[in-house]
């Protein structure tokens, strides 16, 4: 059997670790996503100029801190999110977060395919279904080559999106009279500030929880933290700014739509395609790792099957995007909180994955996720933050109670 270059069932060896620059490109490719522009556009018309920037800075700083913890753990251990979950959820217990996270990424893949196909159809007249099938299968094929393909694709896409998108936004703002006009715009329907921050965090909290899947290839934990902060605090903020500026200047949040309105059809398709492609390949890669943890099968083949499924359901997922985003903001964050809490409390267990022993199911982890979801739903404040903290704190309380004595139902890694 060929070597598992995705390291889906074990740690990434030091010989396979990647440079800071390469991982930064991969993570920026993940966060450069049209959905963040959509949310940025919604915030841009629902908040004042100053409130928008404060909400984006606070929200993405929260995202950056949350994902940096996970990135540090990933680079320290070389383990994917799903293998890390075995420590806090148990071997079979980790199937729950793997199914939830993996399934979510398949859903995002489908949303992304439709987000490419629909505007290109409007601009060119090419049948939407044809565009979905062709783009979905092309994105699916590239994920077969794993991290190497993600690095190459991101190295091309990230500079292209930043340069072309930046030029387009600058031109759009200048065409309506400059920043003074943007600053003077008053929201017609105001968005509550805590809701705005929750929208920023919720925009990428699902993929952010999977940070370890990518930065486990980092050579040092400190470099993984740097990469993660750049991607989520700077990269995701840039997408929000693109969306808000585009919406204020042209009424379109997606930078590709702005470029089409400017008559830049080919550059628009290139930017949109690269934008979606990098994020979608990351999503498929992560989904394969999740379902590999459940099935024990090679992740690259699972990723390709997931790509076909996401392509087939692309339009349905696209049409249910708002509900999907709301669900993510509540259900995903406690998983990351539990993983972080267990690592901080039981760090010595993580030194050697090959000899580590795990319970079949650690009910403390599962119950902590449920508590985290309840905290996010019922407590006032920022939903994802309440969910992360609720999951982490409840795990630190419940785990000693559920595991006072060493039990017999343990399994080796």
Q: Which residues of the chain have pLDDT under 50?
A: 1-2, 407-408
Which helix (H) or strand (E) element contains residue 262?
none
- 138, burial (CB in 10 Å: exposed 0-12, middle 13-18, buried 19+): middle
CA–CA dist 305, 161 (Å, integer): 28
Residue 408: per-residue pLDDT: 44
Q: Check if the beta carbon of residue 357 is closer than 8 Å to that of residue 412.
A: yes
Note the Cα 75 to chain centre separation in Å. 17
Residue 113: per-residue pLDDT: 94
Number of H helices, E strands in the chain: 20, 2
CA–CA dist 94, 338 (Å, integer): 11
Does the pTM surpass 0.85? The reply is yes
Question: The tokens of 335 are what?
Answer: 């998983």
Q: Enumerate the domain spans of the chain.
A: 21-319
Residue 221: per-residue pLDDT: 96
Report phi then psi at 18, rounded to 5. -115, 165
* Class of the domain covering 21-319: mainly alpha
Residue 2: per-residue pLDDT: 47
Residue 407: per-residue pLDDT: 45
Residue 413: per-residue pLDDT: 60
Beta bridge partners of 411: 358
């Amino acid at each position: 059997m060929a070597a598992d270059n995705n390291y889906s069932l074990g740690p990434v060896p030091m010989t396979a670790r990647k440079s800071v620059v390469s991982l930064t490109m991969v993570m920026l490719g993940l966060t450069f996503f049209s959905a963040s522009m959509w949310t940025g556009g919604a915030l841009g018309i629902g908040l004042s100029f100053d409130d928008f920037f404060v909400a984006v800075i606070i929200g993405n700083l929260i995202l950056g801190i949350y994902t940096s913890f996970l990135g540090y753990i990933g680079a320290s251990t070389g383990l994917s999110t799903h293998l890390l979950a075995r420590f806090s959820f148990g071997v079979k217990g980790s199937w729950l977060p793997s199914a939830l996270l993996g399934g979510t990424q398949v859903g995002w893949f489908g949303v992304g395919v439709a987000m490419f196909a629909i505007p290109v159809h409007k601009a060119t007249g090419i049948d939407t279904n044809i565009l979905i099938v062709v783009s979905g299968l092309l994105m699916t094929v590239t994920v077969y080559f794993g991290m190497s393909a993600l690095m190459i694709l991101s190295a091309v896409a990230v500079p292209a999106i930043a340069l072309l998108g930046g030029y387009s936004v600058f031109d759009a703002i200048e065409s309506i009279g400059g920043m003074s006009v943007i600053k003077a715009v008053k929201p017609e329907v105001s968005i509550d500030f805590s809701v705005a921050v929750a929208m920023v965090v919720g925009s990428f909290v699902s993929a952010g929880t999977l940070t370890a899947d990518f930065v486990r290839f980092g050579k040092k934990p400190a470099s993984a933290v740097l990469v993660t902060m750049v991607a989520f605090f700077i990269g995701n903020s840039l997408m929000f700014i693109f969306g808000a500026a585009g919406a204020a200047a042209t009424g379109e949040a997606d930078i590709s739509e702005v470029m089409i309105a400017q008559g830049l059809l080919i550059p628009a398709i290139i930017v949109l395609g690269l934008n979606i492609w990098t994020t979608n390949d990351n999503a498929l890669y992560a989904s394969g790792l999740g379902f590999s943890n459940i099935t024990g099968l090679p992740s690259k083949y699972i990723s390709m099957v997931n790509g076909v499924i996401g392509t087939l359901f692309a339009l349905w997922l696209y049409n249910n995007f708002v509900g999907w985003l709301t669900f993510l903001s509540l259900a995903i964050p406690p998983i990351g909180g539990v993983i972080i809490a267990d690592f901080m409390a039981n760090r010595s267990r993580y030194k050697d994955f090959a000899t580590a022993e795990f319970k079949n199911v650690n009910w403390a982890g599962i119950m902590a996720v449920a508590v985290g979801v309840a905290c996010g739903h019922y407590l006032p404040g920022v939903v994802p933050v309440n969910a992360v903290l609720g999951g982490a704190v409840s795990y630190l309380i419940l785990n000693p109670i559920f595991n006072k004595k060493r039990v017999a139902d343990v399994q080796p890694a």
